[in-house]
Chains A and B, each alone.
Chain A
């Protein structure tokens, strides 16, 4: 057991040298690393968690109720249009109840015709490559007395929501990228959640504001003849909407036509700029070809009438059309600051979210606390390591020194593995490393105690050391696997910082087993060969 073949020694030392090499970039500044560190050497640095470098953790959930309501509203409109098609079919009671849109056909003879039209709206789902499995987004139902119903199918809703989440992730990514946030991570979590992590973000409130807005932009004609007081009392003409205004200079509500003239999808670009006359911040936009044509014809027909620019059901401003706008370009003015104009431009460029998102979990760490945590973690680790090392030396003398050298190698390897895996180091992660320091020497303790015992039984030093390593191995394995199981469960269940703890604990256990079983043995074997001791001094 104490004999090491040459290649084995090389392998053990090689692992240690490699670990050191992987570790070095962590001590270099980013510039030094980029400019003077050879490219063929490992150049990764350890990833610090949000709790150490500061940043924002935001967990969003897609508001499924909001999405369903929107989708059913669209379906209702589609059904209305389908019934109005030539030849028209008379109906009553078209409306949404729960997850169903229903209507009653007046003329019993036309029910079959209406049913055919509705069947055209069930929207077969694309089921990947296999396709055509007969699954549709809506289920069509025909009941007595000409009552027709369209209801969401589970599969349909599921697939739709999956798409909504995907689209939302895309939109969020575009928005966050525009803000210049460094290396944000945006991931799906479960069926209807999105996790946004932005390390180093200085202004969490702005980030939240940018991500959380639906940013649905629409242009509506204002109904100048409508009586606002009547509308506020709830008496509003069908096809019209009462909207509040965001315009501080002119904070009155307007009644507008429900059907939008244009929407955010018709925009191809938006930029923050300044109005040429007033020098106020504005957002100038450019329309797509189709959009410009639509806008040109509407503005030509409605010169002199005001139209409302609406963002998420609030009016930004309601300018009067002074002349036909045919160039496909325009400006949105409102009570903007430079930043809010800029933010709106970002939102318009990135597009609207397909459904409302709500924050269900938020954790923000300021850069100050992060730096403090790093400092505290470093201090605790260094003091802990020195204290453990002194204790080991007091108890085991020379062999304690061996264990301490193994401990240093162990720490190097833990950080090297973390760097290689690009695992995130969190504050509980540092706690995991410090805990490992304490427990790492356990393997050495097990071995040494065993050697002590074997020696008392009258074995020669070499035999005692040999037997000590051999007998202790099984125990070390059993003892560490139980801890590994607990760490594994932690990793599965934990989020963020706790996961970081599980990672370092796991890595620590594995490197500990390596250093205790191979490296310490190598040191001791070397010592035995040099000194030929008659007694093991432990």
Chain B
């Protein structure tokens, strides 16, 4: 039986040469993401901004969005977003945080229910007060930083500091790009997005660590091999695994994205994007960054990229 091969054995793709393109490419993309973040801002959901979110379903026939919008605008609750949510009879309503503390937030739900009448099934109601939203936002930022810090320490402990720095650069790259995507597409940024980002961190590092593991092994085995050659070889040897794992993970995530329902769609979308970016960054960022960080090649960056070279000062 012929098995499916994504790549032939013994690929010799000179990935390290591509850093001439991948570094500027990722650099410019990251800057663009940052600019997009500043220009468009994030479409923060009620988790981080406070306010009211309601998912409603009309009991008879498809929902009339403009009618609902008009009824709600008449309540004078400030900005109201009304959009279809997955099905024609399901509507997502978002209402901005009200002035005047927790009581005012609570009053919103009653007013909306009075305005929309009884022909409606309230599938989901979420009200987040101003203090809670502030704390949730803070927790989210602290969480991402904490995870990055903990992983940096672990990689440093298991490998060397250069690897740890490289891993964090690659991971930061993934986070910046994910945030950029959310800014450009104005997708709702909420608690589950933070969860998605933390998972992306985990996945991207998982990938990076597998490549690093191979590099470490080869450095023990081929003490005299030139670093660039070695990095290329390590990536080529793990290439099949990297793509296979990305493929299975993407398959599972796609199934979630298509069949998992509207509630977690933005969450899975972020993860799909993250897996692609994470795989890219392990190969094109995390590994080549070592060339700049590794002491073995310090002062010898212009060395010929092919062939074995006597390693100057070999550290164990």
Q: Which residues of B contact A449 (CB under 8 A)?
A: 238, 240-241, 244
CA distance A456 to B8 in the complex (A): 13
The 8 Å CB contact of A373, one of B154, B191, B237, B261, is: B261
Q: Which residues of A contact B103 (CB under 8 A)?
A: 358
- Is A253 interfacial (CB-CB < 8 Å)? no
CA distance A435 to B250 in the complex (A): 9
* Contact status B251-A487, CB under 8 Å: no
* Contact status A369-B124, CB under 8 Å: yes
Interface residues, chain A, with chain B CB atoms under 8 Å away: 51, 59, 61, 204-205, 358-366, 368-369, 372-373, 376-377, 379-381, 383-385, 387-388, 391-392, 394-397, 427-428, 430-431, 434-435, 437-439, 441-442, 445-446, 449, 452-453, 456, 471, 474-475, 478-483, 485-490, 492-495, 497-498, 501-502, 505, 537-538
Count residues of B near A (Cβ-Cβ below 8 Å): 80
Q: Which residue of B lies closest to A439 (CB)?
A: B249
CA distance A377 to B261 in the complex (A): 7
Segment of B28-36, B65-73, B196-204 in the binding face: B196-204
Q: Which residues of B contact A475 (CB under 8 A)?
A: 209-210, 213-214
CA distance A224 to B214 in the complex (A): 91
A376-B260, A428-B195 as given contacts; A369 in contact with B55, CB under 8 Å:
yes
A435-B199, A483-B203 as given contacts; A372 in contact with B251, CB under 8 Å:
no
Interface residues, chain B, with chain A CB atoms under 8 Å away: 1, 3-6, 9-10, 55, 57, 101-103, 105-106, 109-110, 121-129, 131-132, 139-140, 142-143, 146-147, 150-151, 154-155, 158, 191-192, 194-195, 198-199, 201-203, 205-207, 209-210, 213-214, 217, 237-238, 240-241, 244-245, 247-256, 258-261, 263-264, 267-268, 271
* Contact status B9-A434, CB under 8 Å: no
Q: Which residue of B lies closest to A538 (CB)?
A: B3
* Contact status B255-A493, CB under 8 Å: no
The 8 Å CB contact of B271, one of A359, A435, A494, is: A435
B248: shortest Cβ distance to chain A, in Å?
A: 5
* Contact status A493-B139, CB under 8 Å: yes
CA distance A437 to B256 in the complex (A): 11
A366: shortest Cβ distance to chain B, in Å?
A: 5
Q: Which residues of B contact A446 (CB under 8 A)?
A: 210, 241
* Contact status A453-B237, CB under 8 Å: yes
A517: shortest Cβ distance to chain B, in Å?
A: 16
CA distance A366 to B90 in the complex (A): 13
* Contact status A486-B125, CB under 8 Å: no
Q: Which residues of A contact B123 (CB under 8 A)?
A: 365-366, 368-369
* Contact status B132-A360, CB under 8 Å: yes
Q: Which residues of B contact A431 (CB under 8 A)?
A: 256, 260, 264, 267-268
* Contact status A361-B128, CB under 8 Å: yes
* Contact status A384-B256, CB under 8 Å: yes
* Contact status A397-B124, CB under 8 Å: no
Q: Which residues of A contact B109 (CB under 8 A)?
A: 362
Q: Which residue of B lies closest to A365 (CB)?
A: B124
A428-B264, A486-B198, A493-B142 as given contacts; A438 in contact with B249, CB under 8 Å:
yes
Q: Which residue of A lies closest to B150 (CB)?
A: A485
B205: shortest Cβ distance to chain A, in Å?
A: 4
* Contact status A366-B124, CB under 8 Å: yes
Q: Which residue of A lies closest to B56 (CB)?
A: A366
* Contact status A486-B240, CB under 8 Å: no
A104: shortest Cβ distance to chain B, in Å?
A: 35
Q: Which residue of B lies closest to A447 (CB)?
A: B241
* Contact status B264-A427, CB under 8 Å: yes
A441-B245, A449-B241, A483-B202 as given contacts; A388 in contact with B251, CB under 8 Å:
yes
